[in-house]
Amino acid sequence: MENTLKSYIPSAAIPQIMALLDHDDLTVKIKTERKTRHGDYRRLANGKHEITINSNLNSYRFLITLIHEIAHFEAYKAFGKHIKPHGKAWKHTFQKLMLPFLNPAIFPMDLLPLLANHFKNPKASSDTDIKLAFALKQFDPQNDKTYVFEIPFGQHFKLYNGKVFKKGNKRVKRIECIEIKTGKLYLFNPNAEVDVIND
């Protein structure tokens, strides 16, 4: 596992990560991209535990996601199966596990303040933290996607599933978008990645 992870996370994080993964009943699998999640954790029917992480994440997002999922495993072990998936027990565990990694040997200096702020109250997904998600995206390979917040009002755009929307008004945290085919209103995270449709 150590050799596999070396190609996915910052090398300075390897010793600490291997210590966190030192459990006979925990396995980590690298998966091809899943559009709806970066990773997940589950307890298997045989009593063992499995973490899966998308292979296409940049090294910093991969590391954050891996620790996020390890926190689910640790919270399960410490507090049992009846805790809320992203409730107080998980948040506290995630904060505790993440703290030793928040240093310039592992993360770039410009990410550290954003990470420190995020981990005051970590969310179910780092994607909902707009500033952090945007900063992490700068380490992704170049692509032709655009964030919803970057496109003008009234612009049509398309999602990975082919659905077409028109950008509307911004609410406090999300952006109203109308699905063209159904006329239904959806609320988009500002940093959702989309394909702009140029008429």
Contacts of residue 86, Cβ cutoff 8 Å, sequence gap at least 6: 123, 124
| pLDDT of 199 | 67
| pLDDT of 196 | 92
pLDDT (tens digit per residue) in 117-137: 999 999 888 877 888 988 998
pLDDT (tens digit per residue) in 62-87: 999 999 999 999 999 999 888 898 99
* DSSP string for residues in 76-127: HHHH-TTS-TTSHHHHHHHHHHHGGG-STTTS-TTTHHHHHHHTTS--S-GG
CA distances 77 to 87, 93, 192, Å, are: 15, 11, 34
Give the whole-angstrom CA distance, residue 114 versus residue 119: 9
Residue 184, token pair as written in the block: 């239904």
Average of per-residue pLDDT across 27-36: 86
Burial-class residue 13 by CB neighbours within 10 Å (0-12, 13-18, 19+): buried
Find tokens 């596990």 and name the residue: 97
pLDDT (tens digit per residue) in 157-170: 999 889 999 999 99
Buried b (16+ CB within 10 A) or exposed e, 62-78: bbbbbbbbbbbbbbbee
